[in-house]
Amino acid sequence: MEDSVIPFFEKTLQRIPSSSLKSILSEWGFLSAEQLQDLHFQQSKHILHNKVLAFCEENGMRIRHVIQLDMIYNHEYPNKRNWSVYQFSGREDDAVVLNMTEFSQKFKVNLKDLLRHVSIGMKKCEDDAVWIRVAWGDNFTKPNQFKPTYVVYQLQTPYVFISNLNVKHRPLLSQALVIATKHDEIKEIQLRGRCLKSLKDLVLRRYKQSFQTHQPKPLQERNSPERDQGIVHEHAKRLADLKEVATQTFGDGPLPKLETAVFKLETKFKDPENRILTNRPEPFRCAVKFSSPSFLESLKSLVTLGVASAPVSPLLSSIPQKARNHFVISERGPGVPSTPGP
């Protein structure tokens, strides 16, 4: 067995959580049924891994087998990676069904033409996505299997999700993708996150909520007989109102999971009340970064607490509406309010 296979295999194996080791090894199909039966999955990780390694050596495992295993793991646990979203342009109809063989051939040939040492894995998955794994070398060194780029091309859409792509390799990958899919070009859109499903939901507009920016249904209209019953009821009513506003704006269901939202602001500073920095023509340059395990959930929670005003600011509602989470806001940009703060 090649020298480089073992460390690559061990690293890949170590990442797999014990709970899913059995299912992933079964899906991999490289070990025979008897060998799988021989494994005791309750044993210590160390002993178990050694046994698996022994079986693999017996079966004559090669790099391409480990690549398959790595791809299965990443397909199962995509949220361990940071994904950037890219969009194709220039083709008439993305809904046309792609010829997988043709695509695969064109992509591999093109990439190998540009770079002598590159290792490519490709797999079509049931959710209509093509998973591509690229390990990069250069004209003199073998591909580095430890830092591969992952590409998920969502078929019948112009969207591609890419993880761990070096600036150096970007033009090579872009060219191969564009040629293989018969598009004109591919561009990165300003949407990034860990949750692949949420990113897909956002670009494919599967998140139905409108995120309205106009005043929601007036709440004062409701006749409330409790109004005279003291502060306790007023407070409860206020909380209920806020909750309703939050639900109207964000909907009831689960929100797409985004970990960050970044806004680069190049707007003027305005403070008519105190005349600070008045008539200053230059913009007040700053950058705002929101971080949270799920930014949209946090935002909904802030509305419920009354900390964020509803209707939600148009800058924030741009996130699901435009399926972006990185923005540059200039004076002419969308939704910059002309009225000063609180």
Partner 1 sequence: MEGSQSRGTPSNMNFTPKRAPNNLYRSYGTGAGLTSVRKGKLTSLKLPTSREVPKARDLSEKDPEQISKLTEKNWNLYYVTPLYKFLYTGLKSYSRQLSAFIVAEKQKGIAVEVGLETNFKVNFSIIQGLTEIEEDAEAVFIQICSKPKFATEATAETVVWSGWLSCVNCNTEYLSSLPPEFTCLPLFCANGAETMTALVTTWFQRTFDCNFGPLRIGSNSLCWLAAMWTGCEPEMGIRYLKLSWSLPCSPPLNVSFTVHPGDAWELWRSIRQDQVRMTIEEVDQFMSCIESHFFRHFKIHLSAGELIDVSTSLGSAHRDGKIKLMSSHYMSGILTLLTESAFVMMPI
Footprint on this chain of partner 1 (rule: CB under 8 A): 263, 265, 267, 269-271, 274, 276-277, 280, 282-295, 297-299, 301-302, 305, 307-309, 312-313, 315-316, 329, 336-337, 339-342
- Distance CA(77)–CA(93), nearest Å, equals 31
Beta-bridged to residue 284, according to DSSP, are 267
What is the closest distance, in whole angstroms, from the C-beta atom of residue 271 to partner 1 in the complex? Answer: 6
* Chain-centre distance for alpha carbon 137: 26
- Judged by beta carbon, residue 240 or residue 287, the one nearer partner 1 is 287
What is the closest distance, in whole angstroms, from the C-beta atom of residue 244 to partner 1 in the complex? Answer: 17
- Judged by beta carbon, residue 210 or residue 301, the one nearer partner 1 is 301
What is the closest distance, in whole angstroms, from the C-beta atom of residue 284 to partner 1 in the complex? Answer: 5
What is the closest distance, in whole angstroms, from the C-beta atom of residue 287 to partner 1 in the complex? Answer: 5
Strands 260-267 vs 326-330: parallel, antiparallel or unpaired? parallel
Q: 21 burial class (0-12, 13-18, 19+ CB within 10 angstroms)?
A: middle
Place of tokens 């210590």: 44
What is the closest distance, in whole angstroms, from the C-beta atom of residue 188 to partner 1 in the complex? Answer: 22
Q: Is 262 helix (H, G, I), strand (E, B) or coil?
A: strand
What is the closest distance, in whole angstroms, from the C-beta atom of residue 290 to partner 1 in the complex? Answer: 6
- Judged by beta carbon, residue 169 or residue 300, the one nearer partner 1 is 300
- Distance CA(86)–CA(39), nearest Å, equals 42
Beta-bridged to residue 153, according to DSSP, are 130, 160
- Judged by beta carbon, residue 61 or residue 258, the one nearer partner 1 is 258
- Judged by beta carbon, residue 188 or residue 297, the one nearer partner 1 is 297
H or E segment to which residue 15 belongs: helix 5-15
What is the closest distance, in whole angstroms, from the C-beta atom of residue 60 to partner 1 in the complex? Answer: 44
Residue 222 and residue 244 in contact, taking contact as beta carbons nearer than 8 Å: no
What is the closest distance, in whole angstroms, from the C-beta atom of residue 302 to partner 1 in the complex? Answer: 5
Phi-psi map region of 268: left, alpha, beta (phi>0 left; psi -120 to 50 alpha): beta
- Judged by beta carbon, residue 34 or residue 273, the one nearer partner 1 is 273
The CA angle 317-323-325, to the nearest 5 degrees, is 75
- Distance CA(154)–CA(157), nearest Å, equals 6
The candidate with the shortest Cα–Cα distance to 74, out of 1, 164, 2, is: 164
- Judged by beta carbon, residue 172 or residue 258, the one nearer partner 1 is 258
What is the closest distance, in whole angstroms, from the C-beta atom of residue 328 to partner 1 in the complex? Answer: 13
- Judged by beta carbon, residue 158 or residue 251, the one nearer partner 1 is 251
- Distance CA(309)–CA(246), nearest Å, equals 10
- Judged by beta carbon, residue 29 or residue 334, the one nearer partner 1 is 334
The candidate with the shortest Cα–Cα distance to 68, out of 104, 122, 136, 139, is: 122
